Every structure is written in C-alpha cells, then in structure tokens.
Amino acid sequence: MKWLADAWGCKPFSVWRCFQRVKAPMQPRQIEAAITALELDDFDANEIRLTAAREAGWKIDPQFLLSNTPSTRKESQ
C-alpha cells in the first residue's frame, strides 16, 4: 500500500481506509494517480477508468463507445 500512498500523496492508513472502510467510490484523481504509478498503457488505463466510472454509478454503455471509435465509424464523403 505504500507505493499507492506515495502516488496519492497520503499515508498508507488512508489507502487502507479507502479500500476497507469507505463506501464512497474512488476519486478520479486517485484513479489517475494509480494509473500513473502502475505505468499502464492506454488500453489498460481506459479499462480501469471505465470500471471505476461504472462502480461510481455512471451508466456507460460499452457498445456505444465501441460503435463511435474512429476505426469503426463510417466516414461521410
């Protein structure tokens, strides 16, 4: 937990409390700090962001996201 505490700029106890005692979702800055500390690539980072957003209560449809990516979108000519 120390590496995560360093990334979040807090004490290890605060990290423990975040995972064990607090029922609130993680804050976006905590997610971004963990992604940076873990040095995740874009794919894994976006998967973590999507999971965190869902756990926070956001209604996100992954099919909508996939259907609007540049590689699958039909370009108008």
Task: Tell me the pLDDT tens digit for each residue of 23-62.
Answer: 778 888 889 988 998 899 999 999 999 888 988 888 877 7
User: Would residue 48 count as lying in a domain?
Assistant: yes
Number of domains in the chain: 1
Confidence of residue 77 (pLDDT cuts 50, 70, 90): very low
User: Would residue 74 count as lying in a domain?
Assistant: no
Q: Which residue has the tokens 């064990």?
A: 20
Decide which of 17 and 9 is more confident. 9
Token pair recorded at residue 66: 């996939």
Token pair recorded at residue 71: 């590689």
User: Would residue 44 count as lying in a domain?
Assistant: yes
